[in-house]
Structure 1
Amino acid sequence: MNNYLLFLITLFCWSPTWYLIKFQLGYVDPLVSVFYRFLIAAIIIFIYLMIKKKNLKFSINYHIWFLFFGTCLYSINYVFFYLSNTYLISAFPAIVFSTVVIMNILGEAFYFNKKPSLKTLIGATIGMIGIIIIFNDEIFNFSLVKGTHIGLFLALIGTFCASTGNMVHQRNLNNKFPSLQTIAYAMLYGSLFTFLITQIRGAELLFEYSFSYITSLLYLSIFGSIFAFISYLKLLEKVGPGRAGYVGVVMPVLALIISTIFEKLEWQIDLIIGLPILIIGAILVIHQKIKDN
């Protein structure tokens, strides 16, 4: 499939998810909703694989890496982002997630010895300046009374977990792991790991039968998980984590538009100044990766 098409599918499937997560918060514990989301996605992919009679038998070593991948990308990552959404307007976690492109570059350098160039480091620095401008109030006027700094911190942890998952997937690709089976098992293990966390926290296994909860859950499971992740990870396979991370740069713009329409987000001066700086920094990073490849 064409790289641009993979990019667009990922972008337009993922962008609304930051807003739709809001409909998963309330009656059902957020972590239980994460469990439902990826369990449904895993079941659908397994049904497809069985219909296509694909191999589903793998060694213990494979399953260990499936578990590691799923725990990072389909469990802990989303646990932190769902919790972050309880403190921040939906577009702000998406803005924080844009730093995944910088984390991916640094991760490639650390895990695969792909050293970043000076331009990459400059771009990463500019991107961080953009984040600091956007969240300057939370950073420089830290107060336990406010909850936004907590949301920012949770989103950063979630982004780091997502980037780590990207690195694990790159490692699996380098070792010729079958992509779709890897995603299916990873989502299954990720959902079960999240379920384990819910039980440790003592969360009740509730379900909300409202139209908004069910429809948002189905969208998040089918489009936000299956279509988005298959497209994104295929893109990562073809162009590498750094360039695939460009999705995370463009996505906040669409997420901000959605928040402006549905959540009446008011664009303050720090957001107006900081977002373009963040995008410029990330583009410098991505452009360097394009030249490296």
Structure 2
Amino acid sequence: MHNFFLFLITLFCWSPTWYVIKFQLGYVDPLVSVFYRFLIASIVIFIYLLIKKKSLNFSFNHHIWFLFFGTSIYSINYVFFYISNTYLISAFPAIVFSTVVIMNILGEGFYFKKKPSLKTLIGAFIGMIGILIIFNDEIFNFNFTNSTHVGLFLALIGTLSASTGNMIHQRNLNNNFPLIQTIAYAMLYGSIVTLLITQVRGSELLFEYSFEYIASLVYLSIPGSIFAFIFYLKLLEKVGAGRAGYVGVVMPVLALLISTVFENLEWQIDLIIGFPILIVGAVLVINQKIKSVK
């Protein structure tokens, strides 16, 4: 499948999720909703694999790495982002997530000994300037009594967890792990880890039977999880984690448009100036040849 097609499908499946998550917040604990989301997604994939008679037997070592992958990218990542959405309008966590392209480049260097090029370092530096401009007040006046500051901090932790998951998946690819089975087990394990977190927090396993909650849960589970991750991880397999992370850079553009229309986002001067700078930096990072990691 063509890389650009993979990119577009991933982008249009993922971008609305930042806004759709808002319909998951309220009666049901956000982390319980994360549990439901990935449990449903994993069940759907397992049904598909059983219908296709694909092998589901793997070694203990495989399952350990499925667990690591699922915990980082389908549990911790979303736990922090769902909570951050209780503090912020949907576009701002998406903007924070755009830093995943820089984290991925640095992660490839740390874990796989890939030295970043001068172009990468320049792009990362420019991207960080964009982030500093957009969130200058929140960064330089950070405190845990300001809900916006807390939301941004949580989103940053979620992004780091997602990038870690990308590195684990790159490792799994290098060891010939099958994509669909990996996603199925990882989503299952991720949902179980999230369930354990909800119980430690003392959350009740409630369910909301409103149309908005069920419809948003279906969207987040199927297009927003199954389709988005299959196509994104396939893209990562073909072009590397650094370039695949470009999805996280373009995604805030659509997220900002959605927030502008549905959440009445007002474009302040720091956002108007900083966002294009962030995009320029990210383009410099991904607009280069990425050697395959072996």
TM-score scaled by structure 2? Answer: 0.98
State, as a whole percentage, how many aligned pairs show the same letter: 82
Which residue is 2:41 aligned to?
Answer: 41
Partner SS, residue 28 of structure 1:
coil
Partner SS, residue 287 of structure 2:
helix
Deviation at 1:145, TM superposition (A): 3.8
Contact 2:239 2:290 in 1 (8 A): no
Which residue is 1:134 aligned to?
Answer: 134
Q: Deviations over 1:24-71 (max 9, x none)?
A: 011000000000000000000000000000000101000000000000
What is the CA–CA distance in structure 1 between the aligned matches of 2:237 and 2:62, rounded to whole Å?
18
Q: Does residue 248 in structure 1 map to residue 217 in structure 2?
A: no
- List aligned pairs for 1:100-179, cutoff 5 A: 100-179=100-179
Which residue is 1:19 aligned to?
Answer: 19
Count of aligned positions: 292
Which residue is 1:280 aligned to?
Answer: 280
Contact 2:240 2:290 in 1 (8 A): no
Deviation at 1:212, TM superposition (A): 0.4
Deviation at 1:197, TM superposition (A): 0.3
Which residue is 1:72 aligned to?
Answer: 72
Partner SS, residue 72 of structure 1:
helix
Which residue is 1:232 aligned to?
Answer: 232
- The one-letter code sitting in structure 2 at the alignment partner of 1:181 is Q
Partner SS, residue 206 of structure 1:
coil
Which residue is 2:50 aligned to?
Answer: 50
Q: Deviations over 1:226-257 (max 9, x none)?
A: 00000000000001001111101110000000
What is the CA–CA distance in structure 2 between the aligned matches of 1:26 and 1:134, rounded to whole Å?
28
- The one-letter code sitting in structure 1 at the alignment partner of 2:266 is E
Give me the CA root mean square deviation: 0.9
Contact 2:243 2:290 in 1 (8 A): no
Partner SS, residue 89 of structure 1:
coil
Q: Does residue 194 in structure 1 map to residue 186 in structure 2?
A: no
What is the CA–CA distance in structure 1 between the aligned matches of 2:131 and 2:286, rounded to whole Å?
17
Partner SS, residue 129 of structure 2:
helix
Deviation at 1:292, TM superposition (A): 5.1
More displaced 10-residue stretch of structure 1: 182-191 or 124-133 = 124-133
Which residue is 1:97 aligned to?
Answer: 97
What is the CA–CA distance in structure 2 between the aligned matches of 1:141 and 1:116, rounded to whole Å?
31
Unaligned runs of 5+ in 2: none
Deviation at 1:119, TM superposition (A): 1.3
Q: Deviations over 1:247-270 (max 9, x none)?
A: 011100000000000000000000
- The one-letter code sitting in structure 2 at the alignment partner of 1:133 is I
Q: After TM superposition, where is structure 1 displaced by more than 6 Å over at least 4 residues in a row?
A: none
Deviation at 1:141, TM superposition (A): 2.5
Q: Deviations over 1:53-93 (max 9, x none)?
A: 00001010000000000000000000000001011110000
Unaligned runs of 5+ in 1: none
